């Protein structure tokens, strides 16, 4: 076969084999595409994207496709459970009245009185089983274990040595009680003296104390005072307790066997610096309704005492302290002290111990 005939036969075979491929790209614009040239800038707006479903036949779903349970046997499924409230009258519920007293208070649903048979038996039904005597002992024990317990305590508020104006001295202030939460026997004692001159004053009180609130007691009793100038026995009426903001307060009126009426008020406050270091300022005022020349006391405010102590609680029940205390006479009492050659003021440095048990 000559060369031209061979070339013509090859082109014919190529055309036949490429026909299916060209049929797949029919309509894509490739048949009449010109030779590639330099690209031109795109237009400002582009044509919308072709519909991906163009040319697809969208037929309606069959009945089996529309119903997911088509062809399922539904005869074996049980009926839904019956409504437990069916047939009940469900009226609109109104607001519940906020009455915090008994059920018979207006606004609550009235309640019938208990039947007469409920009160026909003994006061304590357990008496029928265990006997009245055994249950009486049990009830006494129950009362004792729930508020009628007898306790006691001793507070040594001040036991100290002092130094001032060239001489040294000592002083104490202690009190304690024994009893229950409401009624107690309360005792108090305080005094002071100098190492050179002995005791200056000793005071002891024996009081009945009754709680009038969770934080305050009313106290009444007797006080006996020993002084070099003259002894006194007084009737006492006072109050003692813990005021708001943790102020410890104490006040009392004293009526002596000679008809002299005096008064005294004290206040202390514990300011915690740390859990064991406490700063305690204190203030004490004394007054008299009468002039008592024997004791160098004039009517009105007679004296004021201001103290400041810093203690360290090595244990909660045991705390050494240091401090300073100033005492001054006031009014006519101050004039009497000056007239008799005594100093109306006294400043002392103190060191002592505070304890309770």
pLDDT at position 118: 79
In a domain, 43, yes or no: no
pLDDT at position 47: 47
Residue pair 220/207 in contact (Cβ under 8 Å)? The answer is: yes
In a domain, 62, yes or no: no
pLDDT at position 39: 43
Number of domains the chain contains: 1
Token look-up 């061979």 returns: 6
* Sequence-separated (6 or more) residues with CB below 8 Å from residue 102: 108
Which parts of the chain sit beneath pLDDT 70? 1-107, 166
In a domain, 108, yes or no: no
In a domain, 4, yes or no: no
pLDDT at position 36: 43
Six token digits for residue 38: 């330099």
pLDDT at position 58: 53
Residue pair 261/290 in contact (Cβ under 8 Å)? The answer is: yes
- Among 176, 187, 252, 246, which residue's Cα sits nearest to residue 215? 246
The alpha-helical segments, DSSP class H, found in 194-287 are none
pLDDT at position 71: 52
Can you list the pairs that 35-38 forms with residues at least 24 positions away whose Cβ atoms lie under 8 Å? none
Query: How far is 270 from 276, CA to CA, in rounded Å?
Result: 11
pLDDT at position 20: 47
Residues, the chain: 357
CATH of the domain at 317: 2.40.160.40
Each residue of 336-345: b (16+ CB within 10 Å) or e? Answer: bbeeeeeeee
* Sequence-separated (6 or more) residues with CB below 8 Å from residue 203: 188, 189, 190, 191, 223, 224, 225, 226
Chain segment 301-345, per-residue pLDDT in tens: 999 999 999 999 999 999 999 999 999 999 999 999 999 888 899
Range of the domain at 156: 151-356
Query: How far is 217 from 212, CA to CA, in rounded Å?
Result: 6
DSSP 8-state secondary structure symbol assigned to residue 336: H
In a domain, 237, yes or no: yes
In a domain, 29, yes or no: no
Q: Is the pTM value of this prediction over 0.85?
A: no
In a domain, 278, yes or no: yes
In a domain, 205, yes or no: yes
Distance of alpha carbon 106 from the chain centroid: 35
């Amino acid at each position: 076969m000559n060369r031209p005939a061979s070339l013509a036969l090859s082109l014919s075979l190529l055309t036949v084999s490429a026909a299916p491929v060209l049929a797949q790209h029919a309509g894509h614009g490739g048949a009449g595409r010109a030779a590639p040239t330099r690209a031109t800038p795109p237009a400002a707006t582009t044509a919308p994207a072709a519909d991906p479903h163009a040319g697809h036949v969208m037929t309606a779903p069959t009945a089996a496709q529309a119903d997911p349970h088509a062809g399922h046997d539904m005869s074996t499924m049980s009926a839904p459970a019956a409504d437990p409230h069916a047939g009940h009258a469900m009226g609109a519920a109104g607001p519940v009245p906020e009455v915090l007293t008994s059920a018979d208070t207006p606004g609550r649903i009235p309640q019938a009185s208990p039947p007469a048979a409920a009160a026909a038996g003994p006061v304590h039904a357990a008496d029928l089983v265990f006997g009245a005597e055994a249950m009486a002992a049990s009830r006494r024990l129950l009362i004792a274990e729930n508020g009628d317990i007898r306790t006691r305590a001793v507070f040594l508020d001040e036991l100290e040595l002092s130094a001032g104006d060239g001489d040294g001295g000592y002083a104490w202030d202690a009190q304690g009680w024994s009893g229950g939460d409401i009624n107690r026997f309360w005792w108090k004692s305080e005094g002071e003296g100098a190492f050179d001159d002995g005791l200056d004053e000793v005071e002891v009180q024996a009081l009945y104390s009754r709680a009038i609130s969770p934080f305050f007691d009313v106290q009444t009793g007797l006080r006996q005072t020993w002084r070099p100038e003259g002894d006194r026995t007084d009737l006492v009426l006072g109050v003692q307790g813990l005021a708001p903001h943790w102020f410890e307060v104490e006040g009392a009126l004293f009526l002596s066997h000679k008809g002299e009426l005096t008064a005294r008020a004290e206040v202390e406050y514990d300011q915690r610096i740390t859990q064991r270091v406490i700063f305690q300022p204190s203030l004490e005022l004394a007054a008299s309704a009468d002039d008592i020349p024997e004791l160098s006391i004039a009517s009105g405010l007679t004296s004021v005492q201001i103290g400041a102590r810093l203690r360290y609680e090595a244990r909660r029940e045991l705390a050494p302290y240091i401090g300073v205390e100033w005492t001054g006479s006031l009014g006519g009492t101050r004039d009497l002290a000056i007239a008799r050659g005594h100093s109306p003021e006294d400043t002392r440095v103190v060191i002592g111990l505070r304890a309770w048990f």
